Amino acid sequence: MRSIRPSLTIRRGRDAHRRTSPLLGAVALASVLVLTATACDSGSADAGGEATASASAGGDGKITIPDDIKDRLKEHGIDLDKWKNGAWKDWDRDDWLREAQDYINPIIEGLWDEDRMREAEDPERAVDDSDLADDQGVTDPTPAVVEATAVSPAYHANAPEAGKVFFDSPEGTMVCSATVVQDPAHPGKSNLVWTAGHCVHAGKEGGWYRNIAFVPSYNDSGMTDAALQTATKEQVAPYGVWWGDWAQTSDQWIAQGGQTGGDGASYDFAVIHVTPEEGGSGKSLEETVGSALPVDFAAPAVAKVGSVTATGYPAAAPYDGQKLYQCQDAPGRLSLNATDPTMYRIGCTMTGGASGGGWVATGSDGEPALVSNTSIGPVKAGWLAGPRLGEVAESVYDSVSGKFAGQ
């Protein structure tokens, strides 16, 4: 069942002026690992319109904003009228919400239109993997390159749980990949999405990103970039746009996560609870897409994992971010430092934009399950690494599930 928790909505006028900043250039760093999701084109949400809250219409037909949401926004100095007119683009460090409990993501209806989604790209930012940090003797040799293979459209038929996460950062509009996962509190009716921590929160140097939304089976028919120029929103997002009304990542990512060096990568995971932008049919995300993956927090050690399949929408060259790809490989180990858990690493040519995409393997019960997500990669695309999901990841997952258990 879809959560009926009031979801704040800000309607965006159709004639809103769009302002697009230049793409950030590709950056090659010589001696550190970097996250595979980076800044992209930006678009504005300057528009008029009225702020509303779904599921809160009064008997007179007028829609009001629930007092608890009003108070929560006021507590953080957020003025709704200013927010809908572009105040969300103010990334002043002193006002950027960063603590785990401070996640706020008011829906701006119509913000994620077909043009803004298409324009969200991810320039390549990576490094020489010959200069890894001390591996404590547990990093396996660099895996052989595995060429990513295109998923055959319709994507919904071949990878129904996959989709894209869109969000705004100080650098502009950004994009990641994500996976619909099961919710133990709502069997068969999950509204949970799994992605990377760096797709929702900037880590130690920042706070929560804004306008976070999930689009399942983005560009389901695999249209070319040229065809997408004239595609409708319904063609680009056939299963709707789902906004994150709550997100949680690890405390370790918030405290340690960084854009370079692989800082916090071993804890680079997040769970988003979503709600449909326009109310939808009353069906949950899982019911809408018809599938959700279990998450295995007791996946076997690397040596016992025969293979994993990583799925995502790579956006940096030679890919364009519009199509879904996969890599299959037997994972090895990658250790970034002595204090953090060892990560999985596979050969794969997918680039930025694939971040957050799910890694699926045979779980501890013998069935397919999500066991990791794409976190970091090298300067010359050839491998990807993702965190092993243990007690910390399970705690994040259980917390988000539990928050909506009674709804």
pLDDT digits (tens, 9 = 90+) for 24-61: 222 222 223 444 333 333 333 333 333 333 333 334 33
Domain count, the chain: 1
In the structure encoding, which two tokens stand for residue 290, read together? Answer: 């018809």
Give percent above pLDDT 90 in the chain: 59
Phi, psi of 254 (to 5 degrees): -60, -40
Phi, psi of 131 (to 5 degrees): -120, 50
Residue with the larger pLDDT of the pair 98 and 124: 98
- Domain hosting residue 80, numbered range: 8-403
Altogether, the residues listed in the chain come to a count of 407
Q: How far is CA 2 from CA 97, 162, 218, in A?
A: 27, 19, 21
Q: Reduced to 3 states, what is the DSSP secondary structure of residue 57?
A: strand
Mean of all residue pLDDT scores within the chain: 81
CATH of the domain at 126: 2.40.10.120
Establish if 1 belongs to a structural domain.
Answer: no
In 332-406, the DSSP E strands lie at 332-334, 343-347, 358-362, 368-373, 376-377, 383-386
What number is the average pLDDT over the span 157-171? 95
Least confident segment among 2-16, 187-201, 314-328, 341-355? 2-16
Establish if 248 belongs to a structural domain.
Answer: yes
Measured distance CA(70)–CA(56) in Å, rounded: 13
pTM to 2 decimals? 0.84
Establish if 241 belongs to a structural domain.
Answer: yes
Establish if 99 belongs to a structural domain.
Answer: yes
What number is the average pLDDT over the span 88-104? 89
What number is the average pLDDT over the span 139-162? 96
Establish if 94 belongs to a structural domain.
Answer: yes
Measured distance CA(375)–CA(284) in Å, rounded: 27
Residues whose CB is less than 8 angstroms from the CB of residue 129 and which lie 6 or more positions away in sequence, other chains included:
33, 142, 378, 379, 380, 382, 383
Establish if 144 belongs to a structural domain.
Answer: yes
Please name which of 309, 292, 299 lies closest in space to residue 364, comparing C-alpha atoms. 299
Instruction: List, for residues 247-262, the tens digit of each pLDDT value.
Output: 999 999 999 998 776 8
Q: Reduced to 3 states, what is the DSSP secondary structure of residue 174?
A: strand
What number is the average pLDDT over the span 209-224? 97
Instruction: List, for residues 113-136, the tens digit of each pLDDT value.
Output: 999 999 996 634 343 455 455 555
What number is the average pLDDT over the span 380-404? 95
pLDDT(407) > 90:
no
Establish if 3 belongs to a structural domain.
Answer: no
Measured distance CA(385)–CA(404) in Å, rounded: 31
pLDDT recorded at residue 69: 63
Please name which of 375, 387, 363, 344 lies closest in space to residue 143, comparing C-alpha atoms. 344
Establish if 165 belongs to a structural domain.
Answer: yes
